[in-house]
Every structure is written in C-alpha cells, then in structure tokens.
Structure 1
Amino acid sequence: MPCLALRMSLQEVMTARVLTVPHDAKADEAARLFLERGISGAPVVDGEGRGLGVISKTDLLRCAQATPDGLKEVTVGAIMTPLNFALPESATLSQAAALMAYEGFHRITVVDGDGRIVGLVSALDVLRWMARSEGFLVPDVAQTRRVVAAE
C-alpha cells in the first residue's frame, strides 16, 4: 500500500520561500549565496520570475575548473542546467519522487500556470515526509541548519 504522504500535493510539501538566482548574475555571486545559506542549488529565473534552469554546486565546480577566469566572469545562465522538468503545485509528492529518481535530480521546481517558480521540492523533503508519515520525529531543514551552524 502506498505511503499516504506520497499522495500529498506539492503545494502542501514544497518549500515556498525559495532562493532564486537571476540568469544574468555572476557565478561567483551564486557560489557566495550557496555558502551563506547552506544550500547546494537554486532555480535560475528570468526577469519575470519564470524558471530557466537550475544552478548547482556541481555546475559551479565544473565552471571553476574549466574556466581560466574562474567564476567571476561567467553568468549563471551560461552554466546552469536548463529547466527541462518542472511540476505544477497540484502534482503529488510521489510524482516528484518518481521524476527525481528517473532523471537523477536532487530537486524539482514547482511552478504556477504562468511558469513562475512558486516552490521547490528536494529529495530530502521526500525522505522527511516519508519518515514523518511513519511516525518518526524529523527536524525541518531550518532546524537542522541551525544545529550544524552551532557546532
């Protein structure tokens, strides 16, 4: 029998306050944001807030190694992974999990009807919801980051 939490809509599960990066931002700015916020990736958006792609630590590392000038001269839009997949808020957690597993993604962007990013669901979000549905106490991401930062 499927886990009930996996039937939940992404709107109920997603992180709604998502840090996005403008496509014309420099890659070194994205790297600084990732370190400051303790994140490993973020959606890349146009001026209207519509998703264009995703920038990850891996993208930044590849760029830093391959580009003589490093991250200072390269825009996020030039090295991002294009946004080939996004799900609507009405999609289920199991649909997000299946897409992440099939495509090898760590996160899926959630969009409204106009293609604007309204949230993000990560593989860790899926695991948290599965654990909670089985009665385990699992801290939120913000709580986990506070503990790690204090150590």
Structure 2
Amino acid sequence: MVTVDIGSIMTDEVVVMDETQQVAYARNLMLRHGISRVVVVDADGKPVGIVTETDITRKLRVNGPDWKRRPIDKISIRRVMTENPITVNIGDTPRDAADLMLRKDVGSLLVMDGEELAGIVTKKDLLRFFKDRCAGRWKVRDLMTEDVKTVTPNHTLSHVISVMEENNISRVVVTDNGTVEGIITSENLSFATFEDPERGIPVERIYFISRTSEDKKRVRTIAMLTAGDIMTENVITVEPSVDASEAASIMLENSISGLPVVEDGELVGIITKTDIISGIQ
C-alpha cells in the first residue's frame, strides 16, 4: 500500500490576513472564499494565529468587556483569534493529523515545511481522504455520536448558543416531537442577517445584542428570535447501516459537516466530520 503524506492531501492555497486587521476583514474573506477559517500572520508573514467561524460566534458575545459591543470593523482580529496555531510536518501521515486534531480538539492544522508555511490541512481534507481510502471499514453506527444535543423550533437563540457553548459543539439538531425539523451550525450563527421587525433594517449578528433596559429604545433585543428563525430546513439525514465513506461523500457533495442519523423516522445519533476522521487508521 502506497504511503500518503500530509503534503499530498493538504490545501496549499492558504488564505491569510495581517494581524493588524479587523474582524470584519476576516468575515469578508470567509464569505468571499467560502471558507471557515483564516490564518493570521505577522509583518514577516509568519503565522501567529488562526480565526474561525466558531471563534467569531463564541468570542463576540456581548457579555463581558465593552470592546465586544463595538462594530466588527472596529474589533482587532487579535481579540478573537486563537494564538499559536497547532502545526504538523508536511511529511506526517493523515493518521498523524487526525490523531492530533482529535487530541487537541481543533478543526485544522497548519502544515510546515521546515520554518515555512506550506499549507493547511482541515477536517474536510481528511474527510476526502477517508472517502477515497477507507470504504468498507466502518458503518455509520460504528462512528456516530448517540448523545445528540437538540433544541425545539421555539427555543431562543440565546438558549441555542448556550447549548453549543456548554457542550463544546458546532451544531444542534432542531426537533419537534422526535422528528428532525432542522439543524443549526456555527455558520448559521456567524453569518446570519436578520431584519429588525420594528425598523425593517437588516441587522447583522443581532444575536450578539443584549442591552440593559435604558438602551432598549436604541437597540432591539434578540428575545423574539428563535431556533426556527435561523435553522437550516430540509436536513439531509443518513441511516446507521450506511457505509461511513458514503456519509463522508454526502458531506463533501453538500458542503456540510454533520448528518443526523435517523432510523425508522427517529433520531438515533449524529455523525460529523470529527466522528469520521476518528476512523482513519
């Protein structure tokens, strides 16, 4: 069997931004390139951090210092990025990368060739490797997570975010009497735009806004927004008996990171990119 190294599966075109730039610039890069993370570099082009959709969602919640209430074009990327990103050597194997991601609980690794940044390897890259190289090894039931975190369509966005933060997860399934109605991910939260029903004005990241009573004339609270307002409907599901490589293929084809697992119409689990890469041996 031919040995595969990280250099052959990594993404070598890395989207970077300078550490002196603002959160709004990172957001625009993500939207423009259809990516979920940007590498932050210093004046010499050396990696000093990485910022993801999840960083933006979790670190810009209004609770805490006043800087969190500023417009995102006024917040330094250094406020929200993860410093000292974890790296892997270009000659390491996909299993090395998968093990490191799982151990460090990260979604990507910078790939170094000596002292130089050569690329980035993400869970998506490893998912593609799994699809091509691991067919027939695992069923969905072997790798899925059975303890699925769920909310109902009527739960508030504050509750949704709390569930995601408390359980360190990037998605929750929206159910109604056990039936899958939708799914909410970090991407839904990071780039959602809602219309303020009183003013008819699109307000980005309205879920970050939570003001005291004396401010309520100036800014509308998010209390009226629910999981049903933001969830992705018509969710793609998979059965537990399906080959895990097929689940990986479905995720890649539809640019999604997780599939609710349904058996006889009932939610029995969820399989994510993280679950699948745990099967790389």
TM-score, L = length of structure 1: 0.79
Q: Unaligned 5+ residue runs, structure 1?
A: 146-151
Q: Distance in 2 between matches of 1:22 and 1:118?
A: 17
C-alpha distance in structure 2 between counterparts of 1:128 and 1:79, whole Å:
29
Which aligned runs of 4 or more in structure 1 are off by greater than 3 angstroms?
Answer: 134-139
Deviation (angstroms), 1:104 = 1.1
CA distance in 2, matches of 1:64, 1:71: 9
Conserved 8 A contact 2:85-2:110: no
Aligned to 1:148: none
Q: Secondary structure at the match of 1:39?
A: coil
Tell me which of the two structures has the higher relative contact order, counting C-alpha pairs closer than 8 angstroms and 6 or more residues apart: 1
Q: Compare the two structures and name the one with the higher helix fraction.
A: 1
**Cα distance 1:84–1:120, how it changes in 2: closer, same or farther (>3 A)?**
closer
**AA at the equivalent of 1:13:** I
Q: Decide which structure has greater strand share.
A: 2
- Deviation (angstroms), 1:106: 0.8
Q: CA RMSD in A?
A: 2.4
2:49 matched residue in structure 1 = 53
The AA in structure 2 aligned to 1:103 is K
Retained in 2: the 8 A contact 1:46–1:52?
yes
Residue aligning to 1:149:
none
Unmatched runs of 5 consecutive residues or more in structure 2 = 63-67, 136-244, 256-281
- 1:70 CA drift (Å): 3.0
SS of the equivalent of 1:91 reads coil
TM-score by length of 2: 0.45
Q: Write the deviation string for residues 64-84 of structure 1: whole angstroms up to 9, x where unpaired.
A: 323111312122123210124
**Equivalent residue, structure 1, for 2:127:** 127
- Seen in structure 2, the aligned counterparts of structure 1 residues 28 and 63 have a Cα distance that, compared at 3 Å, is farther
2:118 corresponding residue in structure 1: 118
Alpha-carbon distance in 1 for matches of 2:12, 2:126:
15
CA distance in 2, matches of 1:41, 1:87: 17
2:12: which partner in 1?
A: 16
Q: Shift of residue 48 of structure 1?
A: 2.0
